């Protein structure tokens, strides 16, 4: 691969790792969302380096354009209490937190150790049109038309489910409904 | 110069960061973002391995489906988060103990 490709990889890799650390370490969810946005844009750059142009565009459209915006909408809807309790700096509010973070570190080092095993695979030059919209779209509709349609139904179900779940009662409404039911039972 | 190893190492780093974030943080919003990080790292692996097999696009198509399912998951997850917030006035997952006996 050329030097330009190496530079692209290096920049995108460093930016994505820094953004990921910012996402999980941020105290405020809004900062975490912006860090996630940075990570996602860097990953789109990685896709470009892997000559997956269509996926890079989809990554920007779906993640940067929809998922992160959804996160920011929810953060703004919830307001200041979206910060939650102070857990970012907790060295161990519970024993559980400490154990879980140890388990996470273990998983992290294990995966790293496994990937440092040399798979010795060198990339070859891509044929004409690899990763382009036309070729990927053709492969998508020829090889996996049914999964594609299933995904559209899944998204529809997710929309309806999200609406149904998000419109649940608040604690106050729940207790009021319970009182009303008790009164009706007493009257009867 | 950039080979599969580099991409796999980067993806495992991102997955590890996401896993640690999901396990350590107690803010449901940031836990959902950590899930997105992990899904993204899996996508990197799929696309990087697909780059080795230039005669097909199976990896890219698979990661396309992963992106679609991740979007659905984010929508439903955030809806559950809003329901939790309406009930408890908090996004702290430690408060989600309604099903405790």
Mean pLDDT of A125-148: 89
Task: Examine the pLDDT at A126 and tell me if it is beyond 90.
Answer: no
Residue B87 is predicted with a pLDDT of 85
Q: Is-contact A159 B75, C-beta < 8 A? A: yes
Residue A119 is predicted with a pLDDT of 64
Chain A environment of B50 (Cβ under 8 Å)? 50, 52
Q: Which residues contact A125 (CB under 8 A, 6 or more apart)?
A: none
In total, the C-beta contacts within 8 angstroms joining chain A to chain B are 265
Residue B67 is predicted with a pLDDT of 95
pLDDT digits (tens, 9 = 90+) for B54-77: 888 999 999 999 999 999 999 999
pLDDT digits (tens, 9 = 90+) for A169-179: 777 888 888 88
Chain B environment of A88 (Cβ under 8 Å)? 25
Chain A environment of B48 (Cβ under 8 Å)? 50
Residue A90 is predicted with a pLDDT of 47
Alpha carbon of B39 to those of A11, A142, B94: distances in Å?
21, 25, 24
Residue of A6, A78, A154 lying closest to B91 (CB–CB): A78
Chain A environment of B19 (Cβ under 8 Å)? 104, 107-108
pLDDT digits (tens, 9 = 90+) for A87-113: 544 444 566 766 777 777 777 777 776
Residue of A52, A107, A163 lying closest to B19 (CB–CB): A107
Q: Which residues contact A89 (CB under 8 A, 6 or more apart)?
A: A27
Chain A environment of B95 (Cβ under 8 Å)? none
Task: Examine the pLDDT at A130 and tell me if it is beyond 70.
Answer: yes
Q: How far apart are the C-alpha atoms of A41 and A8, rounded to whole Å? A: 13
Residue of B63, B68, B88 to mutate for A, most A C-beta atoms under 10 A:
B68
Q: Tokens standing for A28?
A: 């405020």
Q: Is the CB of residue A86 less than 8 Å away from at least one CB of chain B?
A: no
Task: Examine the pLDDT at B5 and tell me if it is beyond 70.
Answer: yes
Provide the H-helix boundaries in chain A.
3-25, 29-49, 53-58, 68-78, 95-115, 133-143, 145-166, 171-187
**Which of the residue ranges A44-48, A178-182, B65-69, B91-95 would you say has the lowest mean pLDDT?**
B91-95
Mean pLDDT of B25-40: 93
* Angle, helix B4-24 to helix A95-115, in steps of 10 degrees: 170
Q: Is the CB of residue A170 less than 8 Å away from at least one CB of chain B?
A: yes
Q: From the centroid of its chain, how far is CA A42?
A: 14
């Amino acid at each position: 691969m050329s030097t330009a490709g190496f530079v692209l990889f290096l920049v995108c890799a460093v930016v994505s790792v820094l953004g990921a650390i910012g996402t999980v370490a941020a105290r405020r969810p809004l900062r975490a969302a912006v860090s996630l946005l940075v990570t996602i844009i860097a990953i789109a750059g990685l896709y470009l380096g892997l000559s997956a142009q269509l996926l890079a565009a989809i990554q920007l459209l779906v993640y940067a354009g929809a998922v992160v915006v959804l996160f920011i909408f929810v953060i703004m809807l919830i307001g200041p209490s979206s910060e939650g309790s102070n857990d970012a700096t907790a060295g161990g509010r519970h024993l559980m937190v400490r154990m879980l973070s140890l388990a996470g570190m273990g998983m992290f080092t294990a995966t790293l150790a496994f990937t440092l095993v040399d798979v010795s695979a060198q990339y070859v030059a891509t044929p004409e049109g690899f990763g382009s919209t036309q070729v990927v779209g053709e492969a998508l509709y020829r090889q996996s038309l049914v999964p594609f349609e299933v995904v559209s139904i899944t998204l529809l179900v997710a929309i309806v489910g999200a609406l149904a779940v998000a419109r649940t009662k608040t604690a106050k409404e729940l207790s009021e409904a319970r009182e009303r039911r008790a009164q009706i039972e007493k009257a009867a | 110069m950039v080979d599969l190893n580099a991409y796999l190492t980067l993806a495992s780093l991102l997955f590890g960061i996401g896993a640690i974030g999901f396990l350590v943080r107690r803010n449901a919003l940031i836990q959902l973002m950590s899930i997105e990080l992990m899904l993204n790292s899996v996508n990197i692996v799929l696309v990087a391995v697909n780059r080795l097999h230039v005669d097909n696009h199976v990896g890219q198509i698979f990661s396309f489906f992963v992106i679609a399912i991740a979007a659905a998951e984010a929508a439903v997850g955030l809806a559950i988060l809003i329901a939790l917030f309406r009930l408890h006035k908090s996004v702290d997952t430690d408060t989600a103990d309604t099903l405790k006996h």
